[in-house]
Structure 1
Amino acid sequence: MTTQTTPQTPTTPHAHGPRLQWAKLAPEVYKAMIALDVAAKKGLDPALVELVKIRASQINHCALCIDMHIKDARKAGETEERIYLLNAWEEATSFYSPKEQAALALTEAITVLTEGFVPDAVHARAAAVFDEAELAQLIALITTINAWNRFGVSTRMAPGQA
């Protein structure tokens, strides 16, 4: 008796490439997102910007953005060790400054919104280490990367896809 095997169909979300090229189909939105991204990170430390973008992208499972922002973080001088530990930053606090920890906590609170709001304690922690203008920029940055992640994930963009 011979056993026939059926070829396995890929079940990964990106097995067949992106669903659509949203940037080409909605160029005005794409241009606005680029402008928003540039504006949102003004006045913030480039390494912190990339840590925030990586962490939000990890939470949102956006492979395209994780890949892109890890590369950008390296260019900004970020160490491999800090990049690798970012998924567990709360357990590796000695690797991140109090300001970075506050930014990462705020990133998680804004990205997940499990309670429907950002807890006062998380906001207060960030407000204690960022001045008001920086905090406004940080909130804009977190909101912007979450929008990018939603474009990437909903259209199934992945690293290496054109």
Structure 2
Amino acid sequence: MAGRRVVWSKKLPEVYGKFDEVDALVGRHLDLTLLELLKLRSSILNGCAFCVDLHTRRALDAGETHQRLFQVSTWHEAGAVFTDAERAVLALTDEMTRMGEGGVSDATYDAVAGHFSEEQVAALMTAVAMINLYNRLAVTSGLHPRRR
């Protein structure tokens, strides 16, 4: 049928479950609001409306402010709205999400490494990779947020 797309998570629930396990493991190493900002930023860059909606709601539930959520799309210009550590994570998210031939710059990697332990850097890298995977699957499946 034209216009119908497979919702990957419904057809491969065992894979979806494993992805959720990875997310839970990564989440043990990072602050929840930082993790949601990272996921929101990547979802914005990937044009995934379903994930933008999901991670905005989760961030609000975790205590994130409206102002900071509104500024994620323009974090480069948001000044002191974000800490230096958060800005480093958002830069890493941008470079990993838009990864081209140059990969992630040394300056961006070093900025993240200057604020986080090696274990946390590994968790951040995994979190960005996972949300990019989720975004690509959600967009390809044609998932859209429900109107509230």
Residue 126 of structure 2: which of 133, 140, 144 is its match? 140
Structure 2 spans left out of the alignment, 5+ residues: none
Give the structure with the higher percent helix: 2
- TM-score, scaled relative to structure 2: 0.93
| Deviation (angstroms), 1:81 | 0.5
Q: What do residues 87-136 of structure 1 show as CA deviations (whole Å, max 9, x unaligned)?
A: 11010121000110000000001111023411111101111111111111
Aligned residues: CA RMSD: 1.6
SS in 2 for 1:118: coil
Would you say 1:74 and 2:43 are equivalent positions? Answer: no
Distance change (3 Å), C-alpha of 1:18 and 1:134: farther
- 1:17, 1:156 within 8 Å by CA — same for their partners in 2? no
Would you say 1:113 and 2:99 are equivalent positions? Answer: yes
Distance change (3 Å), C-alpha of 1:68 and 1:17: farther
Structure 1 spans left out of the alignment, 5+ residues: 1-15
| Deviation (angstroms), 1:66 | 0.3
Mapped to 2, the partners of 1:32 and 1:144 lie a distance apart of 11
Count of residue correspondences = 146
Question: Structure 1 segments of 4 or more deviating over 6 A?
Answer: none
- In structure 2, the residue matched to 1:98 is 84
Mapped to 2, the partners of 1:20 and 1:157 lie a distance apart of 10
